[in-house]
Structure 1
């Protein structure tokens, strides 16, 4: 964690934001530690279409960003074992924010 992130004021957390964070955390499957914004959006929109209809991956990114949650790049492997870069949102980052705002 960077020192500047400790100095930055944390945004206020309303009920809609709390619900979003819980919705995002709830769509991670067993063993999934990182998901792309597109996958997260597809899953939360499937679970609650009335809430997330019309959202884009940018909308989701912008809603998570003030809380320090964003896509992180890491090296991964495809199904054949070839190296590839994966960009995703960490389950741990979402869980940490939920713990912090309780």
Structure 2
């Protein structure tokens, strides 16, 4: 199953400080994910080009697996995010890795 995860950072300098503090752990954890897999992700920007959050399309066997991942993500644990929204979605075949069973 696929999920759209929308994360919105705390605004302003405080949000940027929190993101910078958690970024290395966030990137390191992304390389070790087993139960969920990032299909696609991008930073979201405000009208001035400043990062205000991110959008991820994730593959997981269940919502419970995705929620377990969200409980340990550094950007959530370190309160970088002021809001996280999750929606089931159907990723288009152009986004899916070839032969990846977890993403089908």
Is the shorter-chain TM-score for this pair beyond 0.5, marking a shared fold?
no
Higher helix fraction: Structure 1 or Structure 2?
Answer: 1
Which has the higher relative contact order, 1 or 2, with Cα contacts under 8 A spaced 6 or more apart?
A: 2
Q: Could you state the TM-score of these two structures normalised by the residue count of structure 2?
A: 0.29
